[in-house]
Structure 1
């Protein structure tokens, strides 16, 4: 990546995103965040410059810089992605840690956060704008939709389908061949042995629906 990156968001995964870009020798120009109280502060010597909707900074995107969206709230993350699509006609770049492993025939979309020691297997399909935290395993031929979040140390077994917006908590295990529906939530440490419907929340070992 030749251009420096502006990171949208300065909390949550923003700091590890900075570390990921540093690990790949990519310069981070600065952070943009809607919280005015942190404007002018620094994260590891990199400044929080201003608001994500400030045209003065947005005009840099696609010309002098790339963009990465580090916002974890799915609705606001989607808003920022659409902002970049509509106003700058660009897609956010991926933040992929150099200590992750991605199979040569896995496919990956735009704007994904893939942290250290993540393992993505053969034929896996990763959508766009996903957050895959440290040491998660995405086994062969698993499919992740857009805006999916996978917690640290989770195991997504072979041929699992996780639909758009689903959240998988840290340390969860999803058994092979299952489907996790759109916007579903799987609690941390759960072992999921049957498919989960859209908008459902499950928790436990074995995972059961939370009413």
Structure 2
């Protein structure tokens, strides 16, 4: 990658995203964050330049810089991705740690955060703008939708489908062949042995819905 990167967001996964780009010898030009108190500060000597919606910085993206959206909150992440698509006609790049393993016949989209020791297995498909925290495993044939978040150390076994916007906490085990519905949430440490409906929250071993 020849162009430097501007990271949108300066909290949450922003610092590990910087470390990922450093691990691949990619220059990070700076961060953009809506929190004005962060402006002028530095993260590991890289400055927080200003607001993500500031055209003075946005105009650099696509011509002189690439962009990566380092925001944990899915709604705000979606807003920033849409803004880049519409105002700069660009897709955010992937941030893939040098110690991650992605199978040669896996398919991975745009704007994904893939931290150290993540494994994406053979014939797995990953959508766009997902977050895979350290040590997560996505086994062969699994299908991961857009804007999915998978916590550190979680195991997505073979041929699992995780639909758009779902959240999988740290240390979760999803058994082979199940489907996690759109915007569902899986509590940390859960063992999920059957399908989870869209928008449901489940927790436990075996995981069961949490009553609202």
| TM-score, normalising length: structure 1 | 1.00
Deviations, residues 106-130 of structure 1 (Å, cap 9, x unaligned):
0000000000000110000000000
Deviations, residues 25-79 of structure 1 (Å, cap 9, x unaligned):
0000000000000100000000000000000000000000000000110000000
Structure 1: state its 5+ residue gaps. none
The reply to whether residue 9 of structure 1 matches residue 19 of structure 2 is: no
1:43 equivalent in structure 2: 43
Q: Which runs of 4+ in 1 moved over 6 A?
A: none
Once the two structures are superposed, the pairs formed by residues 194-209 of structure 1 within 5 Å of their partners are 194-209=194-209
Deviations, residues 62-98 of structure 1 (Å, cap 9, x unaligned):
0000000001100000000000000000000000000
Once the two structures are superposed, the pairs formed by residues 175-190 of structure 1 within 5 Å of their partners are 175-190=175-190
The reply to whether residue 71 of structure 1 matches residue 71 of structure 2 is: yes
Write the distance in 1 (CA, Å) between the matches of 2:38 and 2:118. 31
Instruction: Name the count of aligned residue pairs.
Output: 211
Deviations, residues 139-192 of structure 1 (Å, cap 9, x unaligned):
000000000000000000000000000000000000000000000000000000
1:113 equivalent in structure 2: 113
1:210 equivalent in structure 2: 210
Write the distance in 2 (CA, Å) between the matches of 1:56 and 1:202. 44
2:85 equivalent in structure 1: 85
SS at structure 1 position matched to 2:37: helix
Write the distance in 2 (CA, Å) between the matches of 1:167 and 1:71. 14
Structure 2: state its 5+ residue gaps. none
The reply to whether residue 53 of structure 1 matches residue 87 of structure 2 is: no
SS at structure 1 position matched to 2:79: helix
Write the distance in 2 (CA, Å) between the matches of 1:101 and 1:65. 26
The CA RMSD measured in Å over matched residues stands at: 0.2
Write the distance in 1 (CA, Å) between the matches of 2:173 and 2:30. 36
Once the two structures are superposed, the pairs formed by residues 158-173 of structure 1 within 5 Å of their partners are 158-173=158-173
Once the two structures are superposed, the pairs formed by residues 18-37 of structure 1 within 5 Å of their partners are 18-37=18-37
